[in-house]
Structure 1
Amino acid sequence: MDCPQQMNVKNLLLEFLHFNQTQYSGALDITTSYRHKFRIYYHQGSIIWATGGIHPHRRLRRHMAQNFPQVDLQSLQWRWQNLSINNWDYQLLSTLHQMQKIEWSQVNTIVENTVTEILFDIIQQAHCTHVLCDRRSEVVLDAPIILTNTEIILRRTYQLWQNWAKADLATISPNLAPSLNQPEQLQYQVSQSVYKSFINLLNGNYTLRDIAIKIKQDILPITRYLLPHINQGKIQLKEVKDWYLNLSNNATTSVDKSLIQNRNRLVAYVDDSPQLGQILGKIIIDNGLRFLHIQDSTQALVNLIEQKPDLIFLDLMMPCTSGYEICAQLRKISFFANTPIIILTGSNGIFDRTRAKVVGSTDFLNKPIVVEQVMIMLNKYLPVQSFANLSKL
């Protein structure tokens, strides 16, 4: 792994082209000043997949609805805990292709559109400030589904960005959701059919990209049409949460399904990742426990003291602080002297584990999050009395 480097748009594009020319295989991790994280996968110089960003689930939903709406995700025997791996979306597409539910041409379209969308978001954010790039040559996707024409995709994406910027939209993210701020005024400024569409679509639930797919039009003219109303304050743009996929739960583990029925127990998780919080939260809540996800690590100590959880999961690396520091601070408080504190880490290094033990951690949980391992921790560290039929295991 190389040292992360700060890059502007020009240097970033040159880096992409350099990877293409040098037949690079591996991954490129990109972190923006907005703390959005992306990962681009390369195979012999070609981009084969890209993931991350603010709405990975919305993005896949959109592309699936556009390209193969006939596929019912609920019918898939695909373990929902697989969402914890970095390339879960790629694995899902690969599974659909292997099951012959989608054609190769559909996969090709989704890969190219996904890569284009992510590159656009990265370029837009790099236009405002530097982004941090980290080469990860050790991260390799096995058996790539397709090899894109990287140079063509880069040229096309940059042209899309230039058109977007020329339309005075450089500061507007297509991931924002428009909502009517002054509907009564708009009613008399647009036709009834347009106003009806506004009411149905501009409700703060759908992003500009979502709307473009719904009405089957290009996002640029749609946003350009809305821009005067946005500038006048009649339509406002706001950030929205991701729409998480609700995959089949049929393949979940049989490990202690009886950890159920005690709603008084609280499990806390400190991590800035909303995706991992969603995954761990589902496991905890499905097993009859309450769940608290703390994303702002600077407020973690205050929230934990206030809520007094029975079990605490801490991510090792977070902005502004670390799992080590929070663990050490908690152990200085008498109430948390014996509270189980489990540190999540993507590393199996002895140094990390030794340091964590020194500051008072109880145990470790390796990433990616796997339901069986979480269940083992719950069984091990929460009091036996909280589990029904535990003696039958």
Structure 2
Amino acid sequence: MSGRAAQYSKPLSHYLRVKKLQIFPVLKRLSFSGQITWSAPAGHQWTLFFDRGQLIYGKGGVHPVRQWYRQAQARLPGPELSYSGLQSSAVAAPSASWLRARDYQLLQHWLSQGQLSPQALRDISSNIVADILFDVVQARETQYQLARQLPLAADQTSIYIDDTPLLTSVTDLWDAWLEAGLEAYSPNLAPVIQHPEPIRAQVSPRVYESLMQLLDGQRSLRDLAVKLGQDVLNLTQALQPYIQSGWISLVEVADFPSLEGLDPPGVIGAAPKAALKIACVDDSPLVCKALGQVIRAAGHDFLAITEGSRAIPTLLAQKPDLVFLDLVMPDTNGYEICSSLRKISRFKDVPIVILSGNDGLVDQVRARLLGATDFLSKPMEPIVILSVLRKHLAPARI
């Protein structure tokens, strides 16, 4: 031996993190059935399910519902992903022995009904597991536990995932992520524009308008990648110069409401919850109708106000728990209403969520200075509406 120290082309931490994936061939060789769960000091957990050594599914992490929803939405764009559609599917979704995961049961139900192809289910499951494994690799410190279970019954046989190319793709993505200098960036973070003017000067008006609509802090890098049909690495690299310059920030974004708490309509024995009263002040009857359908399906009362001039007296009389407030109306505007409400003691702490088709940072800042609690762009997906309720109201009442 020459006595020279070994030279690594990659940092040692890379090998230590990727080493976590070496358990896969061991589980396959042992024909393992059950779950492996990784835990991180921050409290996050990631679980993968195996049947006879074959990978079936995964769940957990920072955004367990977001990661399921964005993959399901990409391959099942029908009405089943509305809140009422999910409720109806939850009634019929079977329980798969020890694999009692509501999201998995819903996918299996749609497969049995012919609404989801076997390949689509495999793609959804593979992409969810890929996101989970990347997060496990990116996490600096993790511990794992194994929970052995009996193999699934013959009538519960699932569509298996080929883990060999999956492990290769996760390792390759992690290599590229490090090489691009993105180690400190989690794909679960959401980009939001902080300084629009320098960006406006560098891109076309069309690109600038798209960026303002998409980079609102409500969609993670992974959400955006799936929505735009892009690779998350390429998308993050494209935004990296703006992030490094401080023009765009990466912020944490909340997960969607849990599917495990999805109560089917009319379930006997379900604990009753006091209905919330949610108001919408918007001159568009269509916006109010769409929002009302989601709110009522969730079991809450809904108040629609389509005349801005009637907003304040009606809100004072009805005393809603949360107000969705349009920013631009013919006879008044959301700024004036928001400012007036905040001067009334009854509405000092009531969440006021501004709705607007214009995602300009100036509008957001002005709305927040006048007391707005949150700022969302139209149109909103049903699950985003429910996420807002959960974010700003007591979880026990949602």
TM-score by length of 1: 0.59
Distance 1:9 1:108 in 2: 26
SS in 2 for 1:28: strand
Which residue of structure 1 aligns with residue 267 of structure 2?
253
Amino acid at match of 2:199: L
Which residue of structure 1 aligns with residue 63 of structure 2?
55
Query: What per-residue deviation string (whole Å, max 9, x for no partner) do you get for residues 324-369 of structure 1?
Result: xxxxxxxxxxxxxxxxxxxxxxxxxxxxxxxxxxxxxxxxxxxxxx
Q: Residues 12 and 139 from structure 1, CA distance in 2 versus in 1: closer, same or farther, beyond 3 angstroms?
A: farther
Q: Residues 61 and 106 from structure 1, CA distance in 2 versus in 1: closer, same or farther, beyond 3 angstroms?
A: same
Which residue of structure 1 aligns with residue 117 of structure 2?
103
Which residue of structure 1 aligns with residue 106 of structure 2?
92
C-alpha RMSD of matched pairs (Å): 3.4
Amino acid at match of 1:219: V
- Residue 193 of structure 2 contacts residue 247 of structure 2 at CA under 8 Å; is this kept in 1? yes
Distance 2:67 2:238 in 1: 23
Distance 2:180 2:194 in 1: 23
SS in 2 for 1:42: strand
SS in 1 for 2:265: coil
Which residue of structure 1 aligns with residue 172 of structure 2?
159
Q: Residues 287 and 236 from structure 1, CA distance in 2 versus in 1: closer, same or farther, beyond 3 angstroms?
A: closer
Pick one of 255, 260, 263 that aligns with 1:242.
255
Amino acid at match of 1:171: A
Distance 2:103 2:184 in 1: 28
- Residue 194 of structure 2 contacts residue 249 of structure 2 at CA under 8 Å; is this kept in 1? yes
Pick one of 63, 81, 85 that aligns with 1:75.
85
Deviation at 1:200, TM superposition (A): 0.5
Pick one of 147, 157, 165 that aligns with 1:136.
147
Q: How is 1:264-279 mapped onto 2 (pairs within 5 angstroms)?
A: none
Which residue of structure 2 aligns with residue 170 of structure 1?
183
Is 2:212 the partner of 1:199? yes
Which residue of structure 1 aligns with residue 24 of structure 2?
16
Distance 2:150 2:300 in 1: 33
- Residue 18 of structure 2 contacts residue 171 of structure 2 at CA under 8 Å; is this kept in 1? no
Q: Residues 233 and 13 from structure 1, CA distance in 2 versus in 1: closer, same or farther, beyond 3 angstroms?
A: same
Deviation at 1:11, TM superposition (A): 3.7
Q: Structure 1: which 5+ residue stretches go unaligned? A: 1-6, 264-281, 289-377, 379-393
Q: Percent identity?
A: 28
Amino acid at match of 2:144: C
Which residue of structure 1 aligns with residue 194 of structure 2?
181
Q: Residues 256 and 19 from structure 1, CA distance in 2 versus in 1: closer, same or farther, beyond 3 angstroms?
A: closer
- Residue 29 of structure 2 contacts residue 53 of structure 2 at CA under 8 Å; is this kept in 1? yes
Q: Residues 256 and 193 from structure 1, CA distance in 2 versus in 1: closer, same or farther, beyond 3 angstroms?
A: closer
SS in 2 for 1:72: helix
Query: What per-residue deviation string (whole Å, max 9, x for no partner) do you get for residues 268-298 of structure 1?
Result: xxxxxxxxxxxxxx9xx9699xxxxxxxxxx
Distance 2:136 2:75 in 1: 24
Higher RCO (CA < 8 A, seq sep 6+): 1
Q: Residues 190 and 256 from structure 1, CA distance in 2 versus in 1: closer, same or farther, beyond 3 angstroms?
A: closer
Q: Residues 260 and 227 from structure 1, CA distance in 2 versus in 1: closer, same or farther, beyond 3 angstroms?
A: closer
Which residue of structure 2 aligns with residue 64 of structure 1?
72
Which residue of structure 2 aligns with residue 385 of structure 1?
none
Q: Residues 118 and 186 from structure 1, CA distance in 2 versus in 1: closer, same or farther, beyond 3 angstroms?
A: same
Which residue of structure 1 aligns with residue 320 of structure 2?
none
Q: Residues 245 and 52 from structure 1, CA distance in 2 versus in 1: closer, same or farther, beyond 3 angstroms?
A: closer
Deviation at 1:168, TM superposition (A): 1.0
Which residue of structure 1 aligns with residue 335 of structure 2?
none
Aligned length: 260
Deviation at 1:152, TM superposition (A): 2.0
Deviation at 1:164, TM superposition (A): 1.5
Deviation at 1:225, TM superposition (A): 0.8
SS in 1 for 2:89: coil
Distance 1:197 1:80 in 2: 39
Amino acid at match of 2:108: S
Which residue of structure 2 aligns with residue 215 of structure 1?
228
Q: Residues 78 and 87 from structure 1, CA distance in 2 versus in 1: closer, same or farther, beyond 3 angstroms?
A: same
SS in 2 for 1:187: helix
Q: Residues 253 and 34 from structure 1, CA distance in 2 versus in 1: closer, same or farther, beyond 3 angstroms?
A: same
Distance 1:190 1:27 in 2: 48
Which residue of structure 1 aligns with residue 366 of structure 2?
none
Is 2:125 the partner of 1:115? no
Distance 1:256 1:234 in 2: 48
Pick one of 127, 131, 145 that aligns with 2:158.
145
Deviation at 1:178, TM superposition (A): 0.2
Deviation at 1:250, TM superposition (A): 4.7
Distance 1:262 1:60 in 2: 28
SS in 2 for 1:54: coil
Which residue of structure 2 aligns with residue 366 of structure 1?
none
- Residue 20 of structure 1 contacts residue 150 of structure 1 at CA under 8 Å; is this kept in 2? no
Amino acid at match of 2:145: D
Amino acid at match of 1:22: L
